[in-house]
């Protein structure tokens, strides 16, 4: 979860931010990537823990995402297949 927080901190403010739905998708995607990076390969492990993590972080994440992230960064992160790729979205935008 440290990486999710890092992604949020690195993001600069923007005028044309993503929709709340895009941010919800991004949160789900980041949680999936984080669990996979931690070795949780089983679908049951992901489903069991994903809900708890998403519920705990969704309010703050959605507010930060919709107000401070650009749509292009969200789209880049949604297309990323690993946490390193997500970080590169922040570097390149």
**How far is residue 36's CA from residue 53's CA, in Å, rounded to a whole number?**
14
> Please, what is the average pLDDT of the chain?
78
Which of the four pLDDT bands, split at 50, 70 and 90, describes residue 13? very low
Residue range 55-72, pLDDT digits in tens: 777 888 889 999 999 999
The C-alpha angle 13, 59, 9, rounded to 5 degrees, equals 35
Of 85, 68, 67, the closest CA to residue 76 belongs to 85
Euclidean distance between CA atoms 18 and 60, whole angstroms:
15
Q: Helices 2-10 and 20-37: crossing angle, nearest 10°?
A: 140
Report residue 53 as tokens: 């993590």
């Amino acid at each position: 979860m440290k990486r999710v927080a890092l992604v949020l901190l690195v993001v600069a403010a923007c005028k044309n931010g993503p929709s709340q739905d895009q941010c919800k998708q991004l949160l789900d995607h980041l949680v999936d990537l984080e669990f996979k990076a931690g070795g949780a390969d089983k679908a049951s492990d992901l489903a069991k823990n994903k809900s708890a993590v998403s519920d705990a972080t969704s309010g703050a994440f959605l507010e930060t995402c919709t107000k401070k992230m650009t749509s292009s960064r969200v789209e880049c992160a949604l297309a990323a297949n690993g946490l390193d790729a997500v970080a590169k979205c922040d570097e390149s935008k």
